[in-house]
């Protein structure tokens, strides 16, 4: 349907070099968007750009560490220059350090917060300056079910993702009147380079599956549809919401 068509839209996707971000970048391009893919690793970016261009899409690489001071403004400026506009921002870049709460250092806490929450806010702020002026924009924040429910060995990660979810609500409250919708997606466990070691542990996988009504680990392609939806005109009246893409995990009960 044309309401899901992103033709003519310009998008930024952070953490786009691999895993979830790569899948989202390719998916948005297949839906018609021109995409600026952002990652610290230039070689990863080139692979993503090549994959998009091989399918007839348009992409530009932006090598940047989004936690550095002033990076958000620079990334948005580069994307505007390369694409000639900005309509969609997907804040996907993130990290986790799995430790028990009493073992987390101040430096580790700061690293997680800087990437997962602080960078997402300042990228949203920089993007919103253009989006609010043109009275159109879609911001999609990749949160986590760890921001909705308590998970073991993830206090800093969970706090950062809960912050992303609350940030999403507040930004929607401020910016929806300018035609800028802000929403979030909360994934459960997906097979990515970051979860590879965990999901190679069969005992851990079985524990996850016992808490997942759908009975399987997520595939990154499961996140593409919800992201396209929230980025499209089909979601024109949705703002401030968090969609759990988790196989039913967040409603699991005993």
- Which band of pLDDT confidence, cut at 50, 70 and 90, is reported for residue 225? very high
Copy the structure tokens of residue 65.
């560490």
pLDDT of residue 205: 95
Task: List, for residues 92-127, the tens digit of each pLDDT value.
Answer: 999 999 999 999 999 999 999 999 999 999 999 999
Say what the pTM is.
0.96
User: Roughly how many angstroms between the first and final C-alpha of the chain, as a whole number?
Assistant: 40
pLDDT of residue 220: 96
DSSP bridge partners of 27: none
Average pLDDT over residues 122-149: 98
pLDDT of residue 253: 59
Copy the structure tokens of residue 134.
């043109």
DSSP bridge partners of 10: 34
| pLDDT beyond 60 at 132 | yes
Q: Measured between alpha carbons, how far is 90 from 86 in angstroms, rounded to an integer? A: 11
Return the closest-CA partner of residue 96 out of 21, 168, 11, 161: 161
Q: Are 38 and 120 in contact (CB under 8 A)?
A: no
Angle of CA points 152, 67, 241, to nearest 5°:
60
Mean residue pLDDT of the chain comes to: 96
DSSP bridge partners of 245: 187
> CB within 8 A of 103, min separation 6: which ones?
none
Taking CA atoms, 64 is separated from 154, 182, 202, 204, in Å, by: 26, 23, 36, 34
- Which band of pLDDT confidence, cut at 50, 70 and 90, is reported for residue 196? confident
Q: Does the active-site annotation cover 157?
A: yes
- Which band of pLDDT confidence, cut at 50, 70 and 90, is reported for residue 159? very high
pLDDT of residue 197: 87
Q: Measured between alpha carbons, how far is 4 from 227 in angstroms, rounded to an integer? A: 10
Residue, of 186 and 252, whose pLDDT is higher: 186
Q: Spell out the domains of the chain, with CATH numbers in brackets.
A: 2-189+221-244 (3.40.50.720)
**Burial group, residue 196, by CB count within 10 angstroms (0-12, 13-18, 19+):** exposed
Task: List, for residues 59-83, the tens digit of each pLDDT value.
Answer: 999 999 999 999 999 999 999 999 9
Q: Measured between alpha carbons, how far is 66 from 54 in angstroms, rounded to an integer? A: 27
| pLDDT beyond 90 at 247 | yes
Task: List, for residues 230-241, the tens digit of each pLDDT value.
Answer: 999 999 999 999
- Which band of pLDDT confidence, cut at 50, 70 and 90, is reported for residue 1? low
Q: Measured between alpha carbons, how far is 27 from 49 in angstroms, rounded to an integer? A: 12
pLDDT of residue 144: 97
Candidate list 136, 157, 189, 252, residue with the active-site label: 157
Tokens 């507040």 belong to residue = 170
């Amino acid at each position: 349907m044309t309401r899901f068509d992103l033709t003519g839209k310009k998008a930024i996707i952070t953490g786009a070099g691999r895993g979830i971000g790569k899948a989202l970048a390719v998916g948005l391009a297949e839906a018609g968007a021109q995409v600026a893919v952002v990652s610290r690793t230039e070689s990863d970016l080139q692979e993503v750009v090549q994959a998009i261009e091989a399918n007839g899409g348009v992409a530009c690489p932006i090598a940047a560490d989004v936690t550095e001071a002033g990076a958000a403004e620079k990334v948005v400026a580069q994307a505007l220059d390369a694409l000639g506009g900005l309509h969609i921002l997907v804040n996907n870049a993130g990290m986790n350090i799995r430790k028990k709460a009493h073992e987390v250092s101040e430096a580790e806490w700061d690293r997680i917060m800087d990437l997962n929450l602080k960078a997402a806010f300042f990228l949203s702020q920089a993007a919103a300056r253009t989006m609010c002026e043109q009275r159109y924009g879609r911001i999609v924040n990749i949160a986590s079910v760890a921001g909705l429910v308590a998970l073991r060995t993830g206090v800093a990660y969970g706090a950062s993702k809960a912050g992303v979810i609350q940030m999403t609500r507040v930004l929607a409250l401020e910016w929806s009147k300018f035609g800028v919708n802000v929403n979030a997606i909360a994934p459960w466990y997906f097979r990515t380079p970051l979860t590879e070691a965990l999901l190679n542990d069969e005992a851990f996988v079985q524990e996850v599956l016992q808490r997942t009504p759908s009975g399987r680990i997520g595939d990154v392609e499961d996140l593409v549809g919800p992201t396209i939806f929230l980025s499209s005109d089909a979601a024109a009246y949705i703002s401030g919401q968090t969609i759990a893409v988790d196989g039913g995990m967040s409603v699991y009960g005993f």
